[in-house]
Amino acid sequence: MNIRTEIIAVGTELLLGQIANTNAQWISQQLALNGMSVYYHGVVGDNIDRVSEAFNQAQKRSNIVIVTGGLGPTEDDLTREAFQLLTNMEIIEHESSINKIKKYFQQQQMKMTPNNRKQAHVFKQAKILDNHVGMAPGMIVEYEDTKWIFLPGVPREMKAMVSEEVIPYLQQTTGVKQIIQSTMLKFIGIGESVLEDEIHDLIVNQTNPTIAPLALNEGVAIRLTAKADTTEFANQLIEQMKTEILNRVGDYFYGVDEDTLASKVITLLKKHNHSIGAAESLTGGMFTDEMIAIPGASTVCRGGLVCYQPLVKQNVLGVSPETITNYGTVSEQCASEMATKICDMMDADIGISFTGVAGPNEEEGKPIGTVFIGIHDKSGNSIVRQFQLPGDRQEIRRKTILKGYELLFQHLK
């Protein structure tokens, strides 16, 4: 049986961006761990015609539909009513649920308004999912060979039902025993198109695991997804493909899954027993802030100096007046001297510097997006790289930090 699972989230607040649809993400992860693929995610507002339309579409294309939200007590909680339009199923009041709701209000010494009875409304032929942490029960019903699972939108209520009842139910009724395991391989310093070209034959001939190149905020990635009867065998399939990929593009590889460039740089600094200090102009402390946000950074990070104005570069950091006069603050020479001076000032093994033009106007005849990053170490090795980065002011600053970590990663490797 080809199982096509769909997740529909009901709630106008999701469409307005007031809250993120984390429910669908979490449910997809749990289903994947149990070998079930999700084909569609949908979000629909609190409008009975649109909810009904979304349900009609799901009924035609999916054989498992999981709905979150719209089971509350208010007028805009319309999930039950929209499904009733599709199926004509009878809605009744669930006795144990209404008793639970009444008891709650009595214990809280609060008046129970009539609309709270709505939370106990269920379809007559539904399998009821008890809500141990909230009011409205969940439901499972079958309609024309499609399994419909209705869950509250409150994440902790939904998660309890999925873990305790939905996953066991689906395992039993679908017969799916496999698990789906995914790993993200992360790369920096190589474009998505070049990366894909390097492993093109592996992508064309993929079976298990599957291979999907992706763009990230920090470089690019390859997602490997394996299906197997056990987690161990799935991981074995992933490791075999990972080895094949890294044999080709391993020079650009920096981590997996939750790894970040900053965390990898800290790991490498610790490995080499190196410390680092930063002189930051256009980045204004962002590099140091990102580093010290990572636990354990205190063992390698000496600190940072925000030297935004030329006088601070000269009088505090010690950049020579001649360098500033002859070359300007946005220059290779200034970046080089900043990296050397911060290395000496903080008695660090490595100094890194950032200077450039983030906007909104040109500076020293340099266009917006001009960036210089310098690195100096106690062995006397110095490099300066110039970049022309696109974007608005904040994007340029963010991309500058990323380039700094990329250069450090390559330097430390």
Same domain, 97 and 156: yes
**CB-facing half-sphere around the CA of 149: CA atoms within 13 A:** 21
- CA separation for the pair 321, 301 (Å, rounded): 28
Strand ordering across the sheet containing 127-129? 38-44, 5-10, 64-68, 146-151, 138-143, 127-129
- CA separation for the pair 179, 37 (Å, rounded): 10
Same domain, 156 and 222: no
- CA separation for the pair 120, 100 (Å, rounded): 9
Our count of domains for the chain comes to 3
Averaged pLDDT, 322-330: 97
Averaged pLDDT, 156-166: 93
- Write the single-letter amino acid at 41: H
Collapse the DSSP code of 127 into the 3-class scheme (helix H, G, I; strand E, B; otherwise coil) and give the result.
strand
Collapse the DSSP code of 154 into the 3-class scheme (helix H, G, I; strand E, B; otherwise coil) and give the result.
coil
Whether residue 1 is predicted with pLDDT greater than 80 in this model: the reply is no
Same domain, 235 and 279: no
Averaged pLDDT, 15-43: 92
Triad 168, 171, 172: Cα angle to 5°: 85
Segment 229-285, tens digit of pLDDT: 888 999 999 999 999 999 999 999 999 998 999 999 999 999 999 999 999 999 999
* Residues contacting residue 26 through CB under 8 Å, at least 6 positions apart: 155, 158, 159, 162
Same domain, 136 and 283: no
Segment 78-90, tens digit of pLDDT: 999 999 999 999 9
CATH of the domain at 267: 3.90.950.20
Same domain, 169 and 205: no
* Residues contacting residue 138 through CB under 8 Å, at least 6 positions apart: 71, 128, 129, 131, 149, 150, 151, 152, 161, 165, 166
* DSSP E strand stretches across 4-102: 5-10, 38-44, 64-68, 91-93
Helices 167-174, 22-33: axis angle to 10 degrees equals 50
Question: Last residue of a domain, which of 174, 195, 214?
Answer: 174
**To which residue do tokens 């900043």 refer?**
338
Whether residue 156 is predicted with pLDDT greater than 80 in this model: the reply is yes
- CA separation for the pair 340, 279 (Å, rounded): 10
CATH of the domain at 125: 3.40.980.10
- CA separation for the pair 80, 96 (Å, rounded): 18
Residue 388's closest CA among 330, 324, 336, 339?
330
Segment 170-179, tens digit of pLDDT: 988 988 777 8
- CA separation for the pair 278, 290 (Å, rounded): 12
What is this structure's pTM?
Answer: 0.70
The three-state (H, E, C) secondary structure of 51-113, written as one string = HHHHHHHHHHHCCEEEEECCCCCCCCCCHHHHHHHHHCCCEEECHHHHHHHHHHHHHCCCCCC
Same domain, 389 and 275: yes
pLDDT at 23: 96
Same domain, 266 and 249: no
Residues shown for the chain:
413
Question: Last residue of a domain, which of 118, 152, 174?
Answer: 174
Triad 282, 288, 294: Cα angle to 5°: 145
Task: Report yes or no: 123 and 91 within 8 Å, Cβ to Cβ.
Answer: yes
Residues of the chain above pLDDT 70, percent: 100
Same domain, 335 and 267: yes
**To which residue do tokens 């339309």 refer?**
53
Same domain, 316 and 341: yes
Residue 29's closest CA among 17, 15, 41, 18?
41
- The answer to whether the peptide bond before residue 213 is cis (omega within 30 degrees of 0) is no
pLDDT at 359: 92
Averaged pLDDT, 363-384: 96
What range does the domain containing 199 cover? 181-256
Same domain, 209 and 353: no
Same domain, 401 and 317: yes
Collapse the DSSP code of 326 into the 3-class scheme (helix H, G, I; strand E, B; otherwise coil) and give the result.
helix
Triad 157, 135, 110: Cα angle to 5°: 135
The pLDDT-based confidence of 36 (bands split at 50, 70, 90) is confident
Same domain, 143 and 160: yes
Least confident of 139-143, 225-229, 251-255: 225-229
* DSSP E strand stretches across 24-137: 38-44, 64-68, 91-93, 121-123, 127-129
Whether residue 327 is predicted with pLDDT greater than 90 in this model: the reply is yes
Task: Report yes or no: 101 and 110 within 8 Å, Cβ to Cβ.
Answer: no
- CA separation for the pair 101, 109 (Å, rounded): 12
Question: Last residue of a domain, which of 256, 278, 300?
Answer: 256
pLDDT at 74: 87
pLDDT at 260: 93
Segment 281-316, tens digit of pLDDT: 999 999 999 999 999 999 999 999 999 999 999 999
At 6, list the tokens.
């769909």
At 344, list the tokens.
């000496």
pLDDT mean across residues, the chain: 94
- CA separation for the pair 143, 160 (Å, rounded): 25
- CA separation for the pair 227, 234 (Å, rounded): 6
Report the DSSP pairing between strands 38-44 and 5-10: parallel
